[in-house]
Every structure is written in structure tokens, then in C-alpha cells.
């Protein structure tokens, strides 16, 4: 029988399938179940239909979190790609020891623990004695409380995010640069093409698949932002988002509802709304890519 014939193969993948079912499928299905129930983690879940979804969509915190997220994505994603591309071009212009030095230096923030990166930047942003305010003082600019001023909090977070993520994106873009045939640049130089023309007519078009990956990954990561604003604002499950919720984001709101408000049903519904949004954004990105390739 076919089953007996392939039984050794099934047994070999059985450990993975068991772990996959326990730690991936079961949490998803149980989360979907609880998203339609009012549950505080102790008493028996009470079925409420789509009330959890309605409460979330109608809440003021959800509107503020989504507004912050849209502004964050609109600035962070394109600016992060530009910085990563610039760093990759800079590193690619060096050879040997200097190339390795700059590549390692720019990648260093990626491997730093999140709490350590947040601690460094909280010291940089600190009012009066922070490094950034000391530099601003040299130019006669008054001290700014970057992490407590609603006009600067989002931009302070964006600077930290780009500092942390640029190295990762730089390595990916750099790998794409290394795969571009040098013959294309040699032919362009023979035809009298300038550096700028080579960048826009050779480098960027040849890097499009890599840039598409960086863009898609950046969008998905930005929609799940949590640790950096949480740590920068010193948040807890009962107090998060910073002053006037200027750094409130969907995942933070979800965590606060679950472990601060003990509303696990609402948190589960929040998670599925965010998952649907990520799936839609990813689908749109791949649809746009397929459409552009057919043109």
C-alpha cells in the first residue's frame, strides 16, 4: 500500500508536524475562537459574536493607533530604503578591509538587543544632559524633550528605527549590487553615461527585485512595530503609548487590552484585524508587482 511504502517518510516529518500543529496551528485557531468571545483568562468564555471587532473599530485608541501607524509607515519605509541604498552604494565603493569595516559598522545596530538600543537613544534624547540636546545647545537651540513632546516623539522613533534597521536592509541591497554584471557599467561608461545615469538606468532597475523585497518586508515589519516605542516611552501594560498616545501603535494597544485590561477576547480580535491588514497589504504589493511586470 502507498501509505506503508511512505511510512518512514511520514515518521521523519512527524516531529515537525506535531510542533507545527501545537505551536502554530493551535494558537491561530484558539485565537480565532476567543476573538468571538468575552474572556478574561479565568472564567468560561462567553460568546459575543462580532462585538469584540465592533468595539475595537469604534474605539478612540484604535483610531489613534492606526493614524500613528500610517504616519510612521509613510515616513519610515521610503526613508529607510533610501538610507539603506545609500549605505550599500557607499560600502560597495570601498574594497578590502575598508569595505568590511563599514559593512560591520553599519550592521552593528541590527544585532544590538532592543532594550540596549532603546537605552542608548533615551540617553541621546534626554533633556538638558542628552547628547543631542548638548549639540543643539552649541547652536543656541533650547533643550527639547524629544520623548515627551508630541511634536517630536514620532520623529524620534523614526530616527531610532532607521538606525536599527538600515544595516539589515543595507546588507540585502549590497548583495543585490554585487550581482549586477560589471559589463553593464563598462558599456555605459564607454557610451558616456554619467554616475547619475548609471544609477537610474542600471543600478535601480537591476535592483528592483531586491528593493521590492526590502519594501515589502519593511511594510510588514512597520505594521507590527512594538518594542521600540514601548521601550522608548517606558511603557507598561497599564500605561503605554507615551504622552497623549503619540506613540501608540496597534500591537501595543493589543497587548494593553490583553494583559492590562484582561480582555483577551478583544486582544484576539485585534490580532486578527491586524493580520488581515498585513495580508491585504502584502497581496496588494505582489499584485502591483505582477501588474508592473506585465506592462
Q: Dump pLDDT digits (tens) for 70-109.
A: 999 999 999 999 999 999 998 888 877 887 888 888 888 8
Contact between residue 232 and residue 121 where contact means Cβ atoms under 8 Å apart: yes
Residue 110 vs residues 46, 58, 74, 208: alpha-carbon distances, Å: 43, 37, 22, 23
Grid coordinates representing 7? 511510512
Q: Average pLDDT for residues 205-217, to the nearest whole number? A: 91
Summarize pLDDT for 149-183 with one digit per residue, the tens. 999 999 999 999 999 999 999 999 999 998 888 88
Residue 67 above 60 pLDDT?
Answer: yes
Gap between the Cα atoms of 177 and 85, Å rounded: 10
- The Cα–Cα gap between 93 and 175 comes to 13
pLDDT averaged over the chain? 90
- The torsion angles phi and psi of 263, rounded to 5 degrees, stand at -120, 80
Per-residue pLDDT at 292 = 76
pTM for this predicted structure:
0.90
Q: Give the other-Cβ count within 10 Å of 92's Cβ.
A: 18
- Distance, in Å, from the CA atom of 178 to the CA atom of 169, rounded to the nearest integer, reads 14
pLDDT tens digits, one per residue of 280-290:
999 999 898 88
Q: Is 238 helix (H, G, I), strand (E, B) or coil?
A: coil
Retrieve residue 89's grid coordinates: 552604494
Q: At what angle do helices 60-93 and 96-111 cross, to 10 degrees?
A: 170
Give the span between the Cα atoms of 274 and 132, in whole angstroms.
Answer: 35
Angle between helix axes 114-125 and 131-138 (nearest 10 degrees) is 30
The confidence score (pLDDT) of residue 295 equals 67
Lowest model confidence (mean pLDDT) among 2-11, 28-37, 38-47, 191-200: 2-11
pLDDT tens readout for residues 110-146: 888 888 999 999 999 998 888 999 999 899 889 899 9
Quote the CA–CA distance of 263 and 269 in Å, as a whole number. Answer: 10
Mean pLDDT throughout 258-266? Answer: 92
Answer positive or negative: Cα dihedral of 62, 67, 72, 73.
Answer: positive
* Statement: residue 294 has pLDDT above 70: yes
Q: What is the pLDDT of residue 11?
A: 86
The CA radius of gyration of the chain, in Å to the nearest whole number, is 24
Look at residue 220 in the predicted model and tell me its pLDDT. Answer: 93
Q: In this predicted structure, what is the pLDDT of residue 9? A: 83
Tell me how long the chain is: 295
Q: How far apart are CA 289 and CA 55, in angstroms?
A: 35
**What pLDDT is attached to residue 1?**
57
| Cell digits of residue 146 | 524629544
Element spanning 124, H or E: helix 114-125
Classify domain 50-294 by CATH architecture.
Answer: Orthogonal Bundle (1.10)
- Whether the pLDDT of residue 264 is over 80: the answer is yes
User: Is residue 223 very low, low, confident or very high in pLDDT (cuts 50, 70, 90)?
Assistant: very high
Amino acid at each position: 500500500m502507498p501509505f506503508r511504502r511512505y511510512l518512514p517518510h511520514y515518521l521523519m516529518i512527524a516531529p515537525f508536524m506535531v510542533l507545527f500543529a501545537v505551536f502554530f496551528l493551535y494558537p491561530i485557531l484558539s485565537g480565532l475562537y476567543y476573538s468571538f468571545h468575552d474572556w478574561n483568562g479565568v472564567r468560561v468564555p462567553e460568546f459575543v459574536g462580532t462585538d469584540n471587532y465592533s468595539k475595537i473599530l469604534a474605539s478612540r485608541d484604535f483610531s489613534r493607533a492606526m493614524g500613528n501607524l500610517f504616519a510612521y509607515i509613510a515616513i519610515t519605509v521610503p526613508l529607510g530604503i533610501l538610507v539603506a541604498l545609500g549605505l550599500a552604494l557607499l560600502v560597495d565603493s570601498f574594497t578590502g578591509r575598508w569595505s568590511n569595516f563599514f559593512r560591520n559598522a553599519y550592521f552593528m545596530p541590527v544585532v544590538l538587543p532592543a532594550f540596549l538600543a532603546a537605552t542608548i537613544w533615551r540617553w541621546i534624547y534626554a533633556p538638558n544632559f542628552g547628547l543631542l540636546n548638548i549639540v543643539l545647545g552649541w547652536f543656541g537651540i533650547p533643550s527639547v524633550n524629544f520623548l515627551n513632546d508630541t511634536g517630536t516623539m514620532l520623529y524620534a522613533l523614526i530616527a531610532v528605527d532607521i538606525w536599527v534597521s538600515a544595516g539589515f536592509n543595507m546588507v540585502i541591497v549590497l548583495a543585490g549590487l554585487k550581482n549586477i554584471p560589471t559589463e553593464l557599467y563598462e558599456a555605459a561608461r564607454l557610451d558616456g553615461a554619467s554616475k547619475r545615469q548609471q544609477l537610474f538606468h542600471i543600478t535601480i532597475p537591476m535592483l528592483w527585485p531586491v528593493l521590492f523585497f526590502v519594501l515589502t518586508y519593511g511594510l510588514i515589519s512597520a505594521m507590527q512595530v512594538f518594542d521600540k516605542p514601548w521601550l522608548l516611552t517606558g511603557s507598561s501594560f497599564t500605561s503605554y503609548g507615551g504622552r497623549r498616545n503619540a506613540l501608540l501603535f496597534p500591537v501595543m494597544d493589543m497587548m494593553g487590552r490583553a494583559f492590562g485590561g484582561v480582555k483577551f477576547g478583544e486582544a484576539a480580535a485585534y490580532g486578527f484585524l491586524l493580520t488581515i491588514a498585513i495580508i491585504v497589504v502584502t497581496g496588494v504589493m505582489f499584485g502591483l508587482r505582477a501588474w508592473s511586470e506585465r506592462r
